[in-house]
Amino acid sequence: MSTPMMEAAVVRAFGAPLDVGPLPVPNPGPGQVLVRMEATGVCHTDLHAARGDWPIKPRLPFVPGHEGVGIIDAVGDDVALFQRGDRVGVAWLHSACGHCEYCVGGWETLCEAQADTGYSVNGTFAEYALAQASHVVPLPEEPDAAILAPLLCAGVTTYKGIRETEARPGQCLVVSGLGGLGHLAVQYGVAMGLRVFGVDISPDKLALAERLGAEGVFDGNAPGCVEQVRRATRGGGHGVLVTAVSPSAFSQSIGMARRGGTIALVGLPPGEFNTPIFDLVLRRITLRGSIVGTRNDLREAVSIAMRAGIRPHLEVHRLHQINDVFARLHRGHVNGRVVIRFE
């Protein structure tokens, strides 16, 4: 009997083009589900993974992707939560230990034994993907899978990041970086009752943020940008969310924060940035990393998006175009989010 095959995009060498071709369809083990992909988002993390940009690198070869929407095609033993035909999301957090201080304390994304989709286990740049039944999220039958896919990482990451700034309704949120994550952050911020201001260096992304409800937008390369933001917000953002993949944007964000404000960093550019200790101490600025979101955060992010009409600005492509998509993503030429749709 022949082995069923699927099309997948595989990283075989860091920095090399992905190899798009056939792979065997995996079989679900105990506690696992096999998901037939309808669509998967393309995240900047996928590009970093494929380039080997970060200190902890994936083990080659591997399949990237962690914003997968699909239909359960088969279930392994000991799976009671889902059945064949259910629509689910396959997100970044593939699994966690479930018993460490972080897991039991509601911070499973900090679990040191976690496995991550498209990084430490094969991901969603394939027609089928394996997932832990405990960590997939149920999704509505509507809308289109392409609309849901970016919520599984870009959506939950920005929603959680905004919450980490502790900005309250009526207060000012500055979003630095208005691309795949940032344009969703603008919509989540508005839905959460915040006054949202955006910073980017792309005129197209600034214009998109304005259309999505940003009260003011600013060119990050313009002289005096920080002062413009501080004037518009009357002292700086109560919260500043940095989604940009640029160390200079991280440095710039400190000046955009109000006294007593909180900066949440979710972008992951390679390298480091200078932190002015004097400013942080005297202005009581909180500088905080924010990593994706828990399963509960993800359910909340999807629910809010459905109720508030939050929709990603999309380009839809096919899997064989992934290398062209990566090249444009690397150059910063994607306005919104790219989604790969499967047949």
102/86 Cα distance (integer angstroms): 29
Range with the poorest average pLDDT among 42-46, 162-166, 317-321: 42-46
312/336 Cα distance (integer angstroms): 7
* For residues 105-124, average pLDDT: 97
Radius of gyration, CA atoms only, the chain: 20
Question: Is 192 in contact with 162 (CB distance < 8 Å)?
Answer: yes
pLDDT confidence bin for 210, thresholds 50/70/90: very high
* For residues 183-212, average pLDDT: 97
Q: Which of 197, 185, 135, 183 is nearest to 157 (CA)?
A: 185
State both tokens at 135.
């960590």
Task: Identify the structural domains of the chain with CATH numbers, from first to last.
Answer: 5-153+293-341 (3.90.180.10), 155-289 (3.40.50.720)
**8-33: per-residue pLDDT in tens?**
999 999 999 999 999 999 999 999 99
Residue located via tokens 């979003």: 175
235/242 Cα distance (integer angstroms): 18
**68-88: per-residue pLDDT in tens?**
999 999 999 999 999 999 999
* For residues 110-123, average pLDDT: 98
182/150 Cα distance (integer angstroms): 12
Which residues does 10 contact at the CB level (< 8 Å), separation at least 6? 18, 19, 20, 21, 23, 61, 62, 63
Q: Which of 184, 109, 197 is nearest to 154 (CA)?
A: 184
CA 157, 160, 165: angle at the middle one, nearest 5? 120
255/227 Cα distance (integer angstroms): 8
* For residues 319-339, average pLDDT: 93
Residue 2, pLDDT above cutoff 90: no
State both tokens at 315.
């380009």
Tell me how far CA of residue 328 lies from CA of 69, 100, 156, 315, in angstroms.
23, 40, 24, 12
Q: What is the largest CA-CA distance in the chain?
A: 71
The pLDDT value given to residue 69? 98
Residue 334, pLDDT above cutoff 90: no
What residues does 188 pair with on adjacent strands?
Answer: none
Is residue 146 helix, strand or coil?
helix
pLDDT confidence bin for 314, thresholds 50/70/90: very high
Is residue 187 helix, strand or coil?
helix
150/146 Cα distance (integer angstroms): 8
Residue 1, pLDDT above cutoff 90: no
Could you tell me how far CA 234 lies from the centroid of its own chain?
30
Percent of residues in the chain assigned helix, strand, coil, to nearest 5:
30, 30, 40
State both tokens at 54.
């970060």
Question: Is 116 in contact with 95 (CB distance < 8 Å)?
Answer: no
